[in-house]
Structures are given as structure tokens and as C-alpha cells.
Structure 1
């Protein structure tokens, strides 16, 4: 009985091996002689493709996610670099504009002083405005030059554009400037300005001794009725009176009218200097005669 069982088991194993070999042979034969696939092969191929898709698609999403994170880091770094570049550009642009304006201002001031030196042989001392008083009864300004710099009382103070005022008090390292906007013909401290017109220095004459706070204009009086002074003329210091040196621009004639008694005329003069942005001024030093 045991021998029969062993024989049958060996026979089954033998038959299984023969069947497997035949199966392999049939598959090989079918693949070598045909171009199409049988339906079991198609089923197996489609099933495998579907299963692969289930695994491949999420894996692709995950790989893309990590790739996008890497890209975000790169973009963030690039944006940070761009921000730094833009900030540096803005800073450099501001510095450039400031330097350019400074150079233009210095060039203008240098041309002004050189031209004035050739005309009148004056020396110009550059001073910084360090303080401005808003006291309605004492509107003055302080500059950073004093006695040790050669500053004296009654020296004229001007800008490139026009006359600013006159030195009223002098300290060792600073001085006080009384602006021409404080001219008042009723004040005993007022130094009237003897004025003339550019191009007709020997033909026109007037006295500026007051400033109208309401109209922000200087008032020129004692203009001869036959004087050819006209609206638009440039008003200069004439140099008479030995206070204000000649040839400094004061302003522009804006209007002209008959005086109170009809014997002389008056004129309204618009200031040439900008008193709202005074940072640097020139103190005019006249050479000793």
C-alpha cells in the first residue's frame, strides 16, 4: 500500500512537470508565430498597467510636490536678492541725485562768485545758516562765521539769487543777520538800500526802506517821474551810502505808481532770494580802499 502511494505521488509529480514544460513550450510557440495577443494576455497586461498606474500617479504627485518645494525655496532666495538689489539701487539713486544737486549748486555758486569778483573785486565768505528766529519782533538768522573769520557789522549777506540782508551783530564764531524783509522806514535801526536798475545804472535810482509783510514785496521810493524804470527790470544795489556794495541783485520791478505827493514815483519789488530755503549764504567782503 505504501509502495503504491509513493508510485502515485511520483507519477503526479512527473505529470505536473510534464504539463509545466508543455505549457512553457506552447507559450513560446505562440509568441514566435503570431503578432497579436490572446485575451488572457491582454487581461493580464491591462491589469498590470492599471495597478502600475495606481502606484505611479501618486508617486509622480509626491515627486512633483517636493520638486515644487525646491523651486519655491529658489524663488524665495531670488526674491530676497532682488529686494536687496532694489534697496541698494534706491539708496544709490538718492545719493546720486543728492550729489548731482550739490554739484550743480556748487557750480552755480562758483560761477556767481567768479563773475562778481571780475566785476567788483569782492571776496565772498561762504557761511552756513545755523538758526532762524521766528520772533515777530526780531526775525533774524544766525550764521556760523564770526570775528575770527573776518566778519564785521554792516557786511552784506547774499545768495546766488539775490540780497538776503546785512550783518547786525558779530560774535567770535557766529554772527546775526538782519534780513531785508525786516526793513521798516519807521525804525531807527533800518539801513535803507540805495538801488538802481541793471543796464541803466547811471539813469535809474530809488531808495528801498520798507517791506510789506502782506504783499511780501519791497517798496522802492524816491523814483524820479522821468526815470525809465519799468516793470520787469532787475533791481540792483547801487553802492551809494557805503553800506550795501554795488551790483548785488535785489529783485524785479513788479509795478510802478505815482507817489503820495505826485512828485516822485514808487515801485513794488519782488524779492530775488528765496527766504524759505536758506541753508548757505555769502558774506560780501569789500576790499579796503
Structure 2
């Protein structure tokens, strides 16, 4: 009971103080200088205002900070979303650029193709390190019109090899750099006597950074044959259409018996980096 009356008295005192301060404020409007009791009352009321105002400001500042943090979080989430969209767009653009480049090469191939060849586009889907210079696997097969012994080339006309095994959905390509199994009938374009047989070279790949070809059986009378000459498939080949680009001569010398010439040929096709190839739809009988 005593506490109730004490609290009640405090409330009455506080209300009286506020009422008195209000009356002082009203009377001050009519006078220029307050009396000393009014000054004391104004100061006391000011201290009370300060005591109440400071905590209120802290609380208000806390909620403002929370709102600012929320805004920063939302902005950060938007920036992350934009970054993800940008990354996805960049990947799509790179893919489109590669596809565009490939299509341009395809267009150049079809408009300048050898003997108006019919082509079957294919992706390289398999290549084993143990047979790196011997074979690759394509994602096309008999359902696409692929047959055994069809030639395989790049978009830049470079001969890659021939189909030696085919299923309805896949085909294996024997590369021109395979040693001993290809036996390509080839011709040096600079000399009408420059015929020979091409196989994978025995030159150490580590010395050239790429697999090479060896053209043997060139007649000694083919005097026009020189370094840098182009080598193509001949018109007497049992497998390949004539005129397919094979590569360029990098060295030439007589064989051990001095009866014919042997040339090292650098393939026109980049056989270390093949993703997209063409099967020439023109099979011939043979090996």
C-alpha cells in the first residue's frame, strides 16, 4: 500500500512538473526575460528531456542500422545474381563464338571442296593415349551413311585418315600417322614423277612436337621435288579420292640403297587437336 501511494505521489509530482513547465512556456512567450525560478525549471526540464532523448535516439539508430543492413544484404544478393547471369552469358557467348568459327570453316570447306565431295559431319568422342597417333572414335555410324574405308578430313581439307571399323552409331578412324597400316598413295604437286607411298614416320615425335609422315618410293628422276612442296592423295589411290591435302615436305633424301627418295611430310591437319571432322561420303573398294 505504501509503495502504491509513493508511486502515485511520484506520478502526481511528475504531472505537476510537466504542467508547470507548460505554463512557464506559455508565459515566456509574453516576456523577454524569465525569472530565476523559471530558469531553474527550464534547466531541470531540459535535463529530463536529454535523459529521455538519448535512449530513444539509440533505439532509433539501432533500427536505422538494421534497415541499412537489410538494404545492403538485398543489394549484395542482386549483385551476386547479376554476376551469375554475367558468367552464364559469357559461357554462352564463348560457345557461340566457337560455333560461329566452326561454321565459317565449314562454309569455306563446302565452297572450295575437292571434287564436290559429299560430307558427313562428326564429333571426335574418343581417343586413347596408348593409340594417340593411330585412331580416334567418331559419333557417327552406318545410320548416318558412314561406311568402312571412307576418308576422314578436317574443315581445312587436311586428310586425317580412313574409317576402318563402323557400327550403327559410332566409327573408328585409322589415322594417317599410324605406322605400317595406311599405305596412302600420294603425289607431290610440283613434279609429275613425284609419286610415293605414305605411312607414319619413325621420326621421334619429341623431336618435332607433332607426329610426322614418311613418303617413300619417290623416283630419283623427280628432280623438281623440294622442301615445302605440297603432298596430296593421288588419282591411283584405292581408298582416298584424289586431291585431298596431306601435308608439306620438310626434308628429303635418298634411301639407303640410293634407288629412290624418302621425304618427311608434316601433316596439314592438326592431329593433336581434333574435335570436329568430316567423313567423305565416297567409299571405294580396297584394303
TM-score bucket (shorter structure): 0.7 to 0.9
- Verify: 1:156 aligned to 2:151, yes or no: yes
Q: Aligned residue for 1:69?
A: 66
Query: What is the distance in 2 between the residues matched to 1:222 and 1:160?
Result: 29
Q: Equivalent of 1:209, from 189, 193, 199? A: 199
Q: Counterpart in 1 of 2:45? A: 48
CA distance in 2, matches of 1:94, 1:149: 30
Between the aligned partners of 2:106 and 2:29, the Cα distance in structure 1 is 104
SS of 1:152's equivalent? coil
Determine if the alignment matches structure 1 residue 194 to structure 2 residue 170. no
CA distance in 1, matches of 2:225, 2:270: 24
| Largest Rg, 1 or 2 | 1
Q: Match for 1:111 among 88, 100, 108?
A: 108
Structure 1: distance between partners of 2:227 and 2:58: 83
Q: Identify the match of residue 252 of structure 1 among 248, 252, 269.
A: 248
The yes-or-no answer on 1:124 pairing with 2:116 is no
Deviation at 1:37, TM superposition (A): 4.8
Instruction: Give the TM-score taking structure 2 as reference length.
Output: 0.73
Alignment of 1:175 onto 2:167: no
1:206-285 to 2 correspondences below 5 Å = 206-212=196-202, 214-215=204-205, 216-224=211-219, 227-285=223-281
**Structure 1 residue aligned with 2:92, among 91, 95, 99?**
95
Give the 3-state SS of the residue equivalent to 2:236 in structure 1. coil
Structure 2 residue aligned with 1:19: none
Measured in 1, the distance between the counterparts of 2:159 and 2:28 equals 116
Structure 1: distance between partners of 2:98 and 2:279: 22
Unpaired segments ≥5 residues, structure 2:
1-22, 206-210
Q: Supply the distance in 1 between the matched residues of 2:72 and 2:185 (Cα, whole angstroms).
A: 69
CA RMSD of aligned residues (A): 3.3
Shift of 1:232: 3.7
Q: 1:166 aligns with which of 158, 162, 167?
A: 162
**What is the Cα deviation at residue 31 of structure 1?**
5.9
1:121-171 per-residue CA deviation (whole Å, 9 max, x = no partner) reads: 211122333433555599433334444544333221111142111122344
Aligned residues: 253
- Residue 287 (structure 1) shift: 8.6
CA–CA distance in structure 2, aligned partners of residues 248 and 203 of structure 1? 18
